[in-house]
Chain A
Amino acid sequence: MSNDIATIELHARAAIDAAGDPAALDAVRVALLGKTGQVTALLKSLGGMDAEARKSFGAAVNALKNTVAEAIEQRRAVLDAAALDARLAAERIDITLPARPAPRGTIHPLSRTIEELTALFGAMGFTVKDGPDIEDDWYSFGALNIPSHHPARAMMDTFYLKPSGRNRPMVLRPHTSTLQIRTMLEQKPPIRVIVPGRTYRSDHDATHSPMFHQCEGLVIDRGITLAHLKGCLVDFLRAYFEIPDLKARFRSSYFPFTEPSMEIDIAWDRKTGVIGAGSDWLEILGSGMVHPNVLANCGIDPREYQGFAFGMGVERITMLKHGIADLRSFYESDIRWLSHYGTSPLAPVTLHEGDA
């Protein structure tokens, strides 16, 4: 009998190894372990034996059954792996084919700069103020200490709208300083605001556009001095241009709404256009201590409060930072230019995460 078992096992192993696919293996399994299978028949034969014989033979048959079952499972794993390999080989694609198109959009460089201004001045406690592009001439001039006969009005080259029957002429704001006035009327000191926004002047050539962007700033509090004006703007310029030791020069100048007034130059190289290098100076900002008349026009007592205001061209600082040559290209919306100079909508604005 034990010879039979050994023979069966031998034959079973041969049949299992010979099974070339899962179906053949299943046929072998049925032939051995199925209801009428060879091993099953041996198990069935145990019933007719005496107890002694059943004990020894039974152990041998059960061992055979386990061995065969195990061999079948091993073979099945091998066949499955081969089948998977074959399927995967058949499923191969050309992975160099292009992905689904997902067009990338861009943020305009002016928006990018305004976000940077917001972040940098925001770190110094400024909030952003916005307001109407069309203002009456009080907000645009009168409140800012520019009476109607003032030669400074001619400096502005202002756009006027056709008369509306209202008392005051309406203008396209020639500066965002109009929001200085709205801020001081709406809010008590301490005030720290910046006003990035559209401005309009009647000028159109290679270096002037009839619409452009300014960023105005206003700080009003007790004890704000000229030294703070200088500190704030030097801090800003160094952070914006990412040059920690950028040199700045403060030159006396004149604006009707500040006294004293000054223009601020930064060091640059006229030949190469590199900011911070060279021995030339580049005008970048206008600023000054807020004129007592402007404070009084807005109901703030200049004996109690003082502060400073500044204004800069957003296009100008954008062109300088990114080496953009032509002002007009900002508004032409040439898709090639927008793709080239635009930034990613996901680029972080905070400086410590770097420039995108």
Chain B
Amino acid sequence: MKFSLSWLRTHLTTDASLGQIAETLNNIGLEVEGIEDRGAALAPFVIARVIEAVPHPNADRLRVCRVDSGSGEVGVVCGAPNARTGMTTVFAPPGAYIPGSGITLKIGEIRGVASAGMLVSAREMALGEDHDGIVDLPGDAPVGTPYAAWAGLDDPVIEISVTPNRGDALAVRGIARDLAAAGLGTLTPWNAPAINGTGASAIRWQDDFTEACPWILGRTVRGVRNGESPAWLKQRLESVGLRPINALADITNFFTIDLGRPLHVFDVNKISGGALTVRRGAGERFRGLHGKDVNVTSDDCVIADAAGVQSLAGIVGGEATGCDEATTDVFIECALFDRVAIALSGQRSGIFSDARQRFERGIDVSLLPAALDAATAMVIALCGGEVSAITEAGAEPAWQRQASLRFERLQSFGRSDVTPDRAVGILGALGFGIAARDAAGVTVDVPPWRNDVASAGFSAGSTLDQHEDLDPDLATAVRQGARAIEPEADLIEEVLRIEGLDRIVPVSLPPLATVPTPSLTPRQARSVRARRVLAARGMAECVTFSFVDRATAARFGATPDTLTVANPIAADLDQMRPSPLATIARAAATNAARGFDDLALFEIGPGFRDETPAGQDLIAAGLRSGATPLSWIAASRNVDAFDAKADAFAVLQEIGVPLEALQVSATAPGHYHPGRAGTIKQGPKTTIGSFGELHPSLCAALDLPAGSVGFEIDLGAIADPKRRRKSAPDISPLQPLRRDFAFVVDAGVAAEAVLRAAKSAERGLITDVTLFDRYAGDKLPAGKVSLAIAVTLQPKDKSLTDSEIEAVSAKIVASVSKATNATLRG
């Protein structure tokens, strides 16, 4: 919402400076988005007369001027071709900043002649492109007067952002009222001139859609001359960025801004049938005043004549019945439209207009007759004409309602020390009528323009939308609570808004406990630890978008339509990712394309299976590509599936998953290499993750370095950590001993089976089994591998005898042989 200071002053008598006004607007909830103060930049420029202009003695193109600046005569050297004796123009003294050229003037000498200032062009004042010569003003322009003031350019324009609850602040008068309440002056009384029309209106109203249009007024003015608006009106509209069209259209725009009261004017002679009907649309189309076709549905409220739809009510008028310079008879529409109807129509049509903005936020519901009279008066004043009586349909809705404020609540809710007198004074200044007051509180009448106060059950006001599973008795009780509290909260807000929230002294939150309880749940703490362990393993954490293009998403999992964004911001951000690995892969490819292909990236974020809360998983995923770092100690090698496995198991170990209870199976989702990836299960049913080399065709498709590896751990699938005390450790005083075995097995035997079988051979004694060598080659038969393991035996009570060690060794060999058909390597 833009308005100029001079426009504001038509409603507010004030001595406040622009700075004070801006600061107050900010404090009372009308946030200043910008102030355009052209007058400030033009302050040094004054109107001056060229007493005499003579050729420069040393330069053909220059002239030496004696200039009367209003405060004395000065000499100026000027290069403008139009500088001449007797001319009235604009002078900038030394020290002035020239916005058009970015220089600050100094007293100087030009080709040997002193020059104390400058005669300027429009472009040098940043007032357009005209640079053919210095400004040529009419001879009666007052010498010595600031140019900006004379030209009407010293009127600052303030732009505020109006929050959706404050339809009344989309009017210069509404803003003035707030400022007056905040102590910045007095609101100028406003009364519509009485208009006595004669004769019936040429156009009648017929209201067939009263839910959307409870009340509508209109009146005909015959014999108007529609043309250019007077300068003051054009200047008003231009100051707020509106293009003057013609007087009749400009008048409607004026009242939209001035009173927040949208109006519409029809050319009577373009309306068929002598009546305008407010009704539902029926799938018609008409050309709007904004130059585009508008389609209307049966949910839209339209205004139609005998020929069809002429206007989308409250949003945009129609071209066919609009007023132009040839208009002689005008019909003025002044309507009250339902906020919700207009908001929904506006959403459907996608048309943003000043009228829609005001109707959907709520206008002054009782102002219609006065606004129509004021508009009529202005039509008569600017265009002449004969006024008809008012035609009317529907009726003024019952908008009157009250709200009460207990003074004690200002303290117990707001901790504000505002006095009852001050609170009542603020409400009064905002237009609330004082209906009753006692020591404990005040009851006020809500003014018709405050659709946001005590609005339950009124217009599109406050409605509850309670959770469907609430206990019915509780739901009723709290509903009554809200109904009792809300109007009072509205009034407290008004008082504190005007009083200034800054006046409330901050109080720190009282502690709930001397020592706070942990902020994170064990599950939340787990993802923090997963993040730290991965970073500690050399991976860089990234944060990527939760959506990705559907084709990429499909490579990493299911892509149901219910996880497709209906209105994506870009076609490549249209599908919720099944796993963070999908977007990490994209990020890795981008890095690789920049020449960084030795990468280790991870993310802890959501992956989506379906749209229910249970279908949204928290996943730790990572990707490594390229090779390990170059080093003189150990040769660099390409990353492989076991790097990814190490990452996955580091996460699981860090978050407290007992590793010995996990199983790895040699199957993995389709985005992995089918022979170089695994799935991690906790128990027979729960899959908690997967890892391995990424599928070569995936790498090729996404431009990932070949051989990239990745892992995914579904943090949500892992059971909550058990909070029980550890048992005492079994720390033996005896030395452990190690026995090594080499088994020859079929190449298809899983190493894990060998390790498991060895470990289970003598559970009380074997504390660790480590695979330390794997050999396949010409020293073994084809299809066989040798797996060498080191078994740690930890005696508990007494040292083991040789024969006991022999017995354990035999058990190990027997167990491994039985489980895997292994033979001891000779």
Interface residues of A (CB under 8 A from B): 97-98, 100-108, 110-111, 115, 118-119, 121-128, 130-134, 138, 142-143, 145, 147-152, 154-155, 159-164, 166, 170, 172, 181, 185, 190, 192, 198, 200, 202-204, 210-211, 219, 223, 225-228, 230-232, 234-235, 249-254, 256, 259-263, 289, 291-293, 295-304, 306, 330-336, 338-339, 342, 344-346
Contact = CB atoms under 8 A, between A and B. Distances in A.
Contact of A130 (B510, B524, B568, B632): B524
Nearest to A336: B596
Most chain B CB within 10 A, of A119, A251, A306, A338, is at: A251
Given A105-B540, A226-B414, A260-B496, A161 B462 contact: no
Given A130-B524, A134-B611, A162-B564, 14 more contacts: A103-B600, A110-B543, A133-B608, A142-B465, A151-B361, A225-B413, A225-B415, A231-B508, A252-B497, A254-B166, A261-B493, A296-B478, A303-B484, A331-B543
Interface SS, A side? mixed
17 contacts: A105-B537, A148-B344, A160-B566, A164-B611, A170-B562, A210-B569, A211-B545, A225-B412, A226-B504, A227-B504, A235-B508, A250-B501, A256-B165, A296-B479, A342-B535, A342-B541, A345-B531
Most chain B CB within 10 A, of A127, A145, A293, is at: A293
A161 B573 contact: no
Contacts of A164: 562, 611
B562 A125 contact: no
Interface string B449-493: 000000000001011111100110011011101101110011011
Nearest to B166: A254
B340 interface: yes
Closest 8 CB pairs of A and B: A252-B29, A254-B163, A122-B519, A103-B538, A333-B587, A227-B415, A345-B535, A296-B482
Interface string B510-538: 11110011111100100010011111111
B633 A122 contact: no
Nearest to A198: B546
B519 A126 contact: yes
Contact of B569 (A130, A154, A203): A203
A226 to B, nearest CB: 5
A151 B415 contact: no
A259 B519 contact: no
B631 interface: yes
B731 interface: no
B512 A192 contact: yes
A97 B166 CA distance: 71
A293 B482 contact: yes
B322 interface: no
Interface in B85-106: none
Interface in B554-583: 561-570, 573, 576
Contacts of B524: 128, 130
A152 B541 contact: no
A330 B517 CA distance: 32
Contacts of A297: 464-467
A127 B166 contact: no
A161 B562 contact: yes
- Interface size range of chain B in the complex: 35 or more
A115 B528 CA distance: 9
A212 to B, nearest CB: 10
B534 A149 contact: no
A147 B502 contact: no
A177 to B, nearest CB: 14
B629 interface: yes
Interface in B160-191: 163-166
Contacts of B486: 259, 291-293, 302
B629 A103 contact: yes
A16 B177 CA distance: 115
A147 B541 contact: no
B509 interface: yes
A209 to B, nearest CB: 8
Contacts of A331: 543-545
Contact of B613 (A131, A143, A155): A131
Given A127-B520, A289-B413, A345 B536 contact: yes
B489 to A, nearest CB: 5
A185 B469 CA distance: 10
B465 A138 contact: yes
B567 A105 contact: no
Contacts of A219: 509
A142 to B, nearest CB: 4
A170 B615 CA distance: 13
A190 B512 CA distance: 9
A303 B481 contact: yes
A166 B628 CA distance: 49
Nearest to B495: A260
Nearest to A132: B613
A198 B605 contact: yes
B477 A301 contact: yes
B402 to A, nearest CB: 17
Contact of B564 (A105, A161, A227, A230): A161
Interface string B21-45: 0000011110100000000000000
A202 B569 CA distance: 6
A226 B501 contact: yes
B591 interface: yes
Nearest to B604: A111
B820 interface: no
Contacts of B540: 105-106, 335, 338-339, 342
